[in-house]
Structure formats: C-alpha cells, structure tokens
Chain A
Amino acid sequence: MSVASARTGHSNRWVQLVLGIICMASVANLQYGWTLFVLPIQHQWGWSKAEIQVAFSIFILLETWLVPFEGWIVDRIGPRWMVLAGGVGTFLAWYVNSKATSLGMFYLGGAIAGFAGGAVYGTCVGNALKWFPDKRGLCGGLTAAGFGAGAAITIAPIRAMIQSSGYQHTFLFFGILYGVIIVIVSNFIRAPRVEELPDVSNIKVLQSSEDVPPSQAVRSPIFWIMYLMFFLVAAGGLISAAQLAPIAKERGIADATVVIFGLSMPAIVAALTFHNITNGVGRPLNGWISDHIGRANMMAIAFGIEAIALGAFGFFGVTAMSFIVTDGLVFLFWGDIFSLFAATVGDAFGRKFVTVNYGIMYTAKGVASLLVPLGNVLTHATGSWHAVYAVGCGMNVVAALLGFFVLKPVIKARLARPATEPAFAEGEVGRRHAVG
C-alpha cells in the first residue's frame, strides 16, 4: 500500500464512521422514541397499552432476528443498498404510523420499522468493524452508542412536537426527516477496499487471517462460547433491569428527590437518566480498552465488575444515591456487550463476513429476552428481590470466568494455529500476535 493511498484511506474511514453514526442516530427513535407515542395513541383511540405495545414487540422481534439475513446480503452487495432500504423503511414505518387508524396498521408500522432498524443497525456496525480492524472495540462501540445518543438529543423536540401538533404530525415530520437523512447518507457509505485497511503493525489484538463464512463460523466452538457469554450477560442484566421500577417503589426511592449538580429531580428520573448515559458511554469506552488489553481480558474484567455492581445494586442500593450509582454501574458494564462481542467476532472470523457473523451473534439478545420472565418467577417464589440479583450476579460471574479461562485460551489456540488450510477468501489482513 502506498503512503498516499494509506493516507486517503485513513482520513476517509473516519468519515465512514461518522456517516454510520448519523444513520444509527436516525433510526434510533424507531426504538427509543416509541415510548413517547404510546400514551397519545392510547388517548386518541382508546386501545389498551398492552395492545399498542404489541407493535413494539413486533419491532424488536424483527429488528433482532432479521439482522443475520440483512447482514448476509450486505456482505455480498455492500452497505449502500441496505442502508438505502433502511432509510426508505424508516420513512414508511413512521408514515404508516402517522396514518394508522387500526391496531393492525400500527403492527404493520412496527414490522416495517423492525426491518429498517435492523438493516441500518447491522450494516453500520458491520461497516465500522470492516473499516477499523485496529480499533474495532472503539468504533463498533461508537456506532452502537450512536443509536442511543441519536435518541437522546431528539427526545425533547419529539415530545414538544407531540404536545404542540399531535402525534400523527410528529410521526410524519420525523419520518420524512430521518428518511431523507438516511437516503442521502446511504449514497456515500461503502465498505473498504483492501488497500484502504490500516497497517498490520497498528493492531494490538489477535486476529484471524482468514475470512470465515457463517456456515463455518457457527461450526466453531469459539462462536458458541461467545454466544453463551453474550446470552448470560444480556439476560443477567435484563432480568435485573425488569425489577428496577418495583424495587424503587418498595424501597421508597421512587418518590425521593435528589440534588445533582444543583438540579433537584426525582431519584427515579436521575437513575434512568444516569443509566442511559452509562449504557451508551460503556460501549465505546470498554471497547476502546479492549483494543489495548485484548477482548477476552476486557470481557473478564467487565463482566466481573458487572457481577459486583449487580450484587451491590440488589443488596445495598437502598438509599437514593446508592441506588443511582449502582444502577449506573450496572449499565456501564452491560451495554458493552454490543461492542465487545462485535469486535471479537470481527477478530475471530475476519472482515469479509463480519456483518452476517455478528448478526447471528446479535440474536443472542433476543434469546436472552426469553429469560426475563424468570425474574418474576424467582421473586414470587422466594418473596424477595435478592434471588434475582444473586442469579444475575452468578450469570455474570460465569461469563467472566468463561471469558478468562475458556475464551482467551481458545482465541489464542485458534488464532495462533499455523495456517495449514487455504483461506476461505482473500486473507488480506496478516496474522497478528499480541494480547488475547
């Protein structure tokens, strides 16, 4: 690679990262903004909240489980057309919601939104992993965090417009706005060429020299070790998060007021705000650390701290401040599953099929959701929250131990093995030996 092309590639890839984050921010409110519309829809039509929320369940189901399928297409045709389709889908979903006069139409809107959200999410994370083999943790994390940040900066204007102009006008306005932004950006988003990749010497973590297709990746033990870890951490955090509001109520924190930086606010609002921030910050921060100390090492540390934070929240989060701080810590080390596993999949299975390979890994999030009702069962069976947090803590301890004692040696053994077989595709990134 010439110096000139390397320079072009290196400056260009940050533009690609920003474009991906813009797209992520533009689809974020399909997910995080929905809650603002539920009550206005209920007031307008008189349906129950549960009936309306079916649309959101449909969205999450499709958003999660279509990612492998969308990733498979992206790895073949590139990111542009999938992001374009995601942009059109985003507009259509909000448009359908703005015109909906029946639950069925909202469910259709949820289905379209699920396709669009998954298309943009999977594509942009995958593209960041392709452009930044030397900074996969940081850039995968920044892209995933863009999803939350995009929602955070537009929640206030959406809420204001719903109050001033009604939810239907708001759906239409933001549908057009987000759709146009994504469609325009899709014209500039692309996967890297081989000569645009960074120099091998810049990479500090072990990486595969092979591009492993999904059919081979899912036959590999390392894939299922990671899948199990993803599942354990996602489920452990979620079953605990499900108990957040009832615990706050029982401990008398829901009605308490705290003063932070001179601002007085309800403790539960402070907790929700703080954990939304830590949930976002943890993704690039822990991903960035993993770029330097190795993925398995960081997973062991992060999930170990997550276990301690869950235990501390469950057993000691009895005052407003301890509740807010321990809850924030739980999410600081929970959100990083979306950067650490994405980066590790890229390292272990190569660049070419990373969108589909990580898409399959990402479905562990959906499987983890199926375990959430276990928290209610445990609480009812034992009559205490403690069992829920003990289980959540235990799941993270298991994930941390798996990371250090199983994943780390397996990564080293797999990636340090001499290449006796031909690569499945062009192995343009050399084998690297460094921290696991």
Chain B
Amino acid sequence: MPTELPVRTRSTQASELELIALVSLLPWCVSLLLACHVPAIAQAFVLMGQFG
C-alpha cells in the first residue's frame, strides 16, 4: 500500500512572503489609490497620524 503523505506542512519563507505582500503591500496600494482620489480618506490618515 502506498504511504499516505502528510497533509500538514510548515510554512515556507516563500509562502510567508506572499502572505506579507498580501497583508502589507496590497492594502497599502489600495489605500494610496483611495487617498489620492478621495480627499476625506487622505484627511483620515492625517487624523490617524495625530492620535495613533
């Protein structure tokens, strides 16, 4: 009988980098686009900078 391969794998550096890109760079690009086109969003980031 063939041996069943383990289905659970540890994360690799490559998959982690993809994840970081997904949670880091993608929303950054979206936010930048929004901030460029919606002044209220740009002001919101300024406000966050004053308090956060």
Contact = CB atoms under 8 A, between A and B. Distances in A.
B45 A367 contact: no
Interface residues of A, number: 51
A373 interface: yes
Interface string B2-22: 000000001100011101100
B16 to A, nearest CB: 5
A215 B47 contact: no
Nearest to B13: A76
A32 B52 CA distance: 10
Given A356-B20, A372-B40, A53 B34 contact: no
Contact of A60 (B10, B38, B46): B46
Interface in B34-52: 34-35, 38-52
Instruction: Give the interface size bracket for B toward A.
Output: 20 to 34
Contact of A61 (B19, B20, B35, B38): B35
A72 B16 contact: yes
A359 B10 CA distance: 21
Contacts of B23: 68, 218, 360, 363
A59 interface: yes
B44 A369 contact: yes
Interface string B24-40: 11011001101100111
A215 B15 contact: yes
Given A54-B42, A72-B17, A368 B48 contact: yes
B49 A34 contact: yes
B46 A238 contact: no
B17 to A, nearest CB: 7
Nearest to B21: A69
Interface in A47-85: 50, 53-54, 56-62, 64-69, 72
A356 B23 CA distance: 11
A366 B11 contact: no
23 contacts: A32-B50, A34-B49, A50-B39, A56-B45, A56-B49, A61-B31, A61-B45, A65-B28, A72-B17, A237-B51, A238-B48, A238-B52, A279-B51, A331-B51, A338-B52, A359-B24, A363-B27, A369-B31, A370-B31, A370-B41, A373-B38, A373-B41, A373-B43
